[in-house]
Copies of this chain bind each other. A is one copy, B any other.
Amino acid sequence: MSGIFYGVGVGPGDPDLLTLKAIKTIEKADVIIAPITEKNKESLALSIVRSYICDHVNIVWQVFPMTNNMNEQTEAWHNNKTEIIGYLEKGKQVAFLTLGDPMMYSTYIYVYNLLKDSGFTIKTIPGITSFCDIASKTGFPLVEGKEILTVVPATNDSEFLEQTLDTGDNLVLMKVYKNFDDVMKKLKKSGHLKRAVMVSNSGMPDEEIYYNLDEIKNKKLKYLTTIIARREKN
């Protein structure tokens, strides 16, 4: 049997938000790859699927360094790619885990691009995005009728971010942990702060939900923190 590479979206955190397709893929996998960073050796994605992993499975932790040193990064990625191809050449079913959806802001996209011309079959399984999860759990509709949804990482530079907030009525702000105070100022200025919710680690045991964003000051936020917001209509 030929090796197949699967990119498996495991959703935002709650194992009940796994799709059947994700579960079936994990149950039949020979090798499960859990991406980790150098700082964080725990794989959240792995913990979400843990109860579906069979005894015989080979779990492989691959480090994807969060570094600006391109040589270091290129070398790590090349090694990870070579390791994956090694398993595929042995005919293994390899499942690469990815939080949320695999085709949105994920390490999997880079791995996919490295492997797509390798000749092996690649199958990608979509996952529930964090912003859909947050919208459902807080009762906050993302977009209705002809409205436009703008999804933007808050790690963008300040001026560009301000411009985006000014033009978008319905917003999803990803990764707000870094520039939180600045993001709050901008949301206030652009008229989004009155109808906004923020969730950290959605669906995980340490989930935190904030409804009154303008009351939060100098807060140390978790990495997986997302704001959804809608501009007040005049």
Contacts and interface: CB of A to CB of B under 8 A. Distances in A.
A104 B149 contact: yes
B142 A153 contact: no
Given A151-B148, A153-B146, A103 B140 contact: yes
Nearest to A132: B126
A110 to B, nearest CB: 8
A221 interface: no
Contact of A20 (B7, B16, B127, B151): B16
A30 interface: no
B24 A16 contact: yes
Interface string A112-135: 110010000010111111001101
Interface residues of A, number: 54
A190 to B, nearest CB: 15
Interface in A3-51: 7, 9, 11, 14-21, 23-24
Contacts of A164: 148
Contacts of A112: 139, 141
- State how many copies of this chain the complex holds: 2
A23 B145 CA distance: 28
Contact of A148 (B103, B113, B145, B152): B152
A105 interface: yes
A38 B23 CA distance: 37
A155 interface: yes
A143 interface: yes
B20 A18 contact: yes
A136 B16 contact: no
A5 to B, nearest CB: 11
A136 B126 contact: yes
B153 A150 contact: no
Contacts of A126: 17, 128-129, 132-133, 135-136
Contact of A103 (B104, B127, B141): B141
14 contacts: A7-B136, A16-B19, A18-B19, A20-B20, A20-B23, A102-B136, A103-B140, A105-B144, A109-B141, A124-B135, A124-B136, A126-B132, A146-B153, A149-B149
Pick the 6 closest A-B CB pairs, nearest first: A103-B135, A124-B136, A126-B132, A16-B21, A149-B151, A126-B136
